[in-house]
Structure 1
Amino acid sequence: MANDVRIEQLWIPDSLDGPDAADFLAAVEVGRKVRMQTWGSDDLAYAPQEKLLEMADPYERQVILVAKVDGEIVGTVDIALPLADDLDLAEFTLDILPEFQGQGVGRQLLEAAEHFARDEGRHRILIDTNHPGASLAGSEAEQLVPGSGLGFVPLGSREVEFARHTGYTLQHIEQFSACTLPLDSKLVAELEAEADEANAGRYRLHHWTDRCPDEWLEAVAALENAAGENGVPGVDTADMVFDGGILREAEEVTIAQGRRTVVTAVEHIATGTLVGLTTISVLALRPDVVFQDDTVVLQEHRGNKLGLLIKVANMERLSEQFPDARVLYTWNAPENRYLLQVNRQLGFATAGVTGIWEKELPDLGPSVS
């Protein structure tokens, strides 16, 4: 056990320049070191400024608890409390420095976070565990399959053992994949030809960056709602109902956080309606690492290779606008076989999996102080 662990709430500074920013910078660095340990790179780590901007998200209250040993921060738990919907939910991200893992620090931090969540009236907790591709090569006897029945996490993983011992149940898996940019021009030509042949001139592409044109605003809100209906159980997009106003607010929040958004949508020419779209996010401070967000194609227009059409076009636009982008990351539910197939055609390779775990906290009733 680690000696004398102190748990406290992290002070969030106004800027990174002041003397009061030292703990915040140290906490962000814990997250970076853990991602280096898991993935072999810090592509998925927050830059301090990025994290600071995210703390001001109007849709989510964010609190960070830290574990200190001898005054040094050795572990953190980010607590995200949705404010617009899922008001019973808290999402935790738990990070412990490699040299302090297995010493009880994580358990103490998690217990403190659960107490905090319960005091905030949150009873449903989600945490995730991350598993690089190399750790997935065992036999079936060494696999834990989620309630959804698709995908698995490695049973022998320290993170998996920790989640199970602390009372969490594996709900579902997200497959995590990476694609090197820019795409090969020969591949692009082949895939565009394949998609064009399938949709036979019945569709037209539209592109924008950051802000949706007014004429498509309600159509995009409808597509986002359709994406939510097909969402994964336990993930909070399912309860978000978008309209044009909410979409505009979300755009402004994204822009305020310094993020850029590259969008390609597809219109069914005969009806003049948008029937699909795909989005890539570019972070303010890491132009080399970009993230695939939603891709949605309405059910009645599937089978025309529209997913392939819009994704190829959007990745091409991304490389034109953001030539520094060298890798595109995406997460997909294993049941989304169509998108996984499209991703394989584009050159995505599996980098690992993320397990989403859930726990219901018992209601202890009013606390007596």
Structure 2
Amino acid sequence: MADDVRIEQLWIPDSLDAPDAADFLAAIEVGRRVRMQTWGTDDLAYAPQEKLLEMADPYERQVILVAKVDGVIVGTADIALPLVDNLDLAEFTLDILPEYRRRGVGRQLLEAAEHFARDEGRHTILIDTNHPGSTLTDPEAEQLVPGSGVGFVPLGSRDVEFARHTGYTLQHIEQFSSCALPLDSKLVAELEAEAEEANAGRYRLHHWTDRCPDQWLEAVAALENQAGEDEVPGPDAEEMVFDGGILREAEEVTIAQGRRTVVTAVEHIASGTLVGLTTISVLALRPDVVFQDDTVVLQEHRGNKLGLLIKVANMERLSEQFPDARVLYTWNAPENRYLLKVNQQLGFTTAGVTGLWQKELPNFGPSVS
């Protein structure tokens, strides 16, 4: 057990230059070190300014608890409270420096985060565990299969052991993949030809960055709603329902956070309607690291390789606009075999899996401290 563990709510400074920013910077560094240890890179870690901007997200309240040992931050619990949908939900990201694991720090942080969530009226808690590909290849290792029945996490993982011992149940797996950029020009030509042959000139591509053209606003909102329906839902999950106004607000929030959004949509020429969409996000301070967001094709237009068509085109456009981009990351449900196949064609390789865990907190009313 670690000595003198103190749990505090992190003060969020007005700027990184403020005199009271030291703890915030130290907390973000804990997250960076944990991701370096897990993935061998800090590509998935927040830059301090990026995190500071995200703290002002109007759709989600974020609170960070920190664990201090002898006055030094050695662990963090990032608590996300949705403000528009899923009002009973809290999502935790728990980061403990490797040298302080198995010393009670994580358990104390998690218990404090659960108390905080319950006081905020949140009773469904989600946490995740991350498992690099190197931990998934041992055929002798025992596996834990989620409630969805697809995929697994290694039963011998310390993170898995911690989640189970603290009362969490594995619900779902997401496959985490990466693709080097830019794509090889010969591969692009081959895949474009394959996709165009399948759709036989019946579709037309449209591109934009950051803001959707007015003429497609409601159509894109409908596609975003479809993307939410296509996702493997969490228990009792409620997805935000988009309309044109909400989509514009979401765009402004993204722009305010300094992020860029590269979009390719596909129109069915005969009907004049958008039937598919794919989106890539570019971080404000890390233009070399980009993230695949939603890819959706309406059910009645599937089978025409439109997913392949729009993803190839969007990755090409990304590389034209943001030539510093060197790697694209994505998470997919293992049930989505079509997109996984498309990603494989594009050159994505599996980097690992993320396990999504759930716990229902008893509703005892506000806790007394």
Q: CA deviation at 1:272?
A: 0.2
Q: Where does 1:274-313 land on structure 2 (aligned, <5 Å)? A: 274-313=274-313
Residues 231, 237 of structure 1: 8 Å contact kept: no
Q: Which amino acid aligns with 1:192?
A: E
Q: Where does 1:193-204 land on structure 2 (aligned, <5 Å)? A: 193-204=193-204
Residues 77, 109 of structure 1: 8 Å contact kept: yes
Q: CA deviation at 1:102?
A: 1.0
Query: What is residue 82 of structure 1 aligned with on the other side?
Result: 82
Query: What is residue 207 of structure 1 aligned with on the other side?
Result: 207
Query: What is residue 106 of structure 2 aligned with on the other side?
Result: 106
Query: What is residue 61 of structure 2 aligned with on the other side?
Result: 61
The alpha-carbon distance between structure 1 residues 351 and 236, as it changes in their structure 2 partners (threshold 3 A), is: farther
Query: What is residue 323 of structure 2 aligned with on the other side?
Result: 323
The alpha-carbon distance between structure 1 residues 140 and 174, as it changes in their structure 2 partners (threshold 3 A), is: farther
Q: Where does 1:344-363 land on structure 2 (aligned, <5 Å)? A: 344-363=344-363
Q: Which amino acid aligns with 2:258?
A: G
Residues 62, 80 of structure 2: 8 Å contact kept: yes
Task: Indicate yes or no: 2:233 matched with 1:233.
Answer: yes
C-alpha distance in 2 between matches for 1:95 and 1:28: 10
Q: Where does 1:256-271 land on structure 2 (aligned, <5 Å)? A: 256-271=256-271
The alpha-carbon distance between structure 1 residues 44 and 270, as it changes in their structure 2 partners (threshold 3 A), is: same
Query: What is residue 73 of structure 2 aligned with on the other side?
Result: 73
Q: CA deviation at 1:231?
A: 1.7
C-alpha distance in 2 between matches for 1:205 and 1:359: 43
**Which consecutive residues of structure 1, in runs of 5 or more, have no partner in the other structure?**
none
Residues 228, 238 of structure 1: 8 Å contact kept: no
Moved over 2 A (4+): 138-141, 235-238, 365-369
The alpha-carbon distance between structure 1 residues 99 and 197, as it changes in their structure 2 partners (threshold 3 A), is: same
C-alpha distance in 2 between matches for 1:232 and 1:313: 26
The alpha-carbon distance between structure 1 residues 330 and 121, as it changes in their structure 2 partners (threshold 3 A), is: same
C-alpha distance in 2 between matches for 1:235 and 1:177: 25
The alpha-carbon distance between structure 1 residues 42 and 367, as it changes in their structure 2 partners (threshold 3 A), is: closer
**Which consecutive residues of structure 2, in runs of 5 or more, have no partner in the other structure?**
none
C-alpha distance in 1 between matches for 2:140 and 2:110: 30
C-alpha distance in 1 between matches for 2:236 and 2:42: 26
Q: Which amino acid aligns with 2:312?
A: V
Residues 86, 238 of structure 2: 8 Å contact kept: no
Q: CA deviation at 1:285?
A: 0.2
C-alpha distance in 2 between matches for 1:208 and 1:27: 36
1:240-261 deviation line (CA, Å, top 9, x unaligned): 1000000000000000000000
Residues 138, 154 of structure 1: 8 Å contact kept: no
C-alpha distance in 1 between matches for 2:326 and 2:236: 29
Q: CA deviation at 1:138?
A: 2.2
Q: RMSD of the TM alignment (CA)? A: 1.2
Q: CA deviation at 1:19?
A: 1.1
Residues 260, 281 of structure 1: 8 Å contact kept: yes
Q: CA deviation at 1:235?
A: 7.9
Q: Which amino acid aligns with 2:137?
A: A
2:271 counterpart SS class? coil
Q: Which amino acid aligns with 1:172?
A: H
Q: CA deviation at 1:141?
A: 5.5
1:244-302 deviation line (CA, Å, top 9, x unaligned): 00000000000000000000000000000000000000000000000000000000000
Query: What is residue 14 of structure 1 aligned with on the other side?
Result: 14
Q: CA deviation at 1:234?
A: 1.3
Q: CA deviation at 1:237?
A: 7.6
Residues 119, 367 of structure 2: 8 Å contact kept: no
Query: What is residue 337 of structure 2 aligned with on the other side?
Result: 337
C-alpha distance in 2 between matches for 1:153 and 1:117: 26
Q: CA deviation at 1:180?
A: 0.2
Query: What is residue 146 of structure 2 aligned with on the other side?
Result: 146
TM-score w.r.t. structure 1 length? 0.98
Residues 178, 348 of structure 1: 8 Å contact kept: yes
Q: Which amino acid aligns with 2:177?
A: S
Residues 141, 154 of structure 2: 8 Å contact kept: no
Q: Which amino acid aligns with 2:95?
A: D
Q: Which amino acid aligns with 2:25?
A: L
1:218-239 deviation line (CA, Å, top 9, x unaligned): 0000000111111222189852
Residues 231, 238 of structure 1: 8 Å contact kept: no
Q: CA deviation at 1:365?
A: 3.1
C-alpha distance in 2 between matches for 1:322 and 1:11: 34
C-alpha distance in 2 between matches for 1:13 and 1:353: 34
C-alpha distance in 2 between matches for 1:366 and 1:48: 33
C-alpha distance in 2 between matches for 1:104 and 1:186: 53
2:207 counterpart SS class? strand
C-alpha distance in 1 between matches for 2:368 and 2:102: 33
TM-score w.r.t. structure 2 length? 0.98
Q: CA deviation at 1:137?
A: 1.0
Query: What is residue 27 of structure 1 aligned with on the other side?
Result: 27
Residues 55, 62 of structure 1: 8 Å contact kept: yes
Residues 229, 238 of structure 1: 8 Å contact kept: no
Q: CA deviation at 1:10?
A: 0.1
How many residues are treated as equivalent by the alignment? 369
Residues 145, 152 of structure 1: 8 Å contact kept: yes
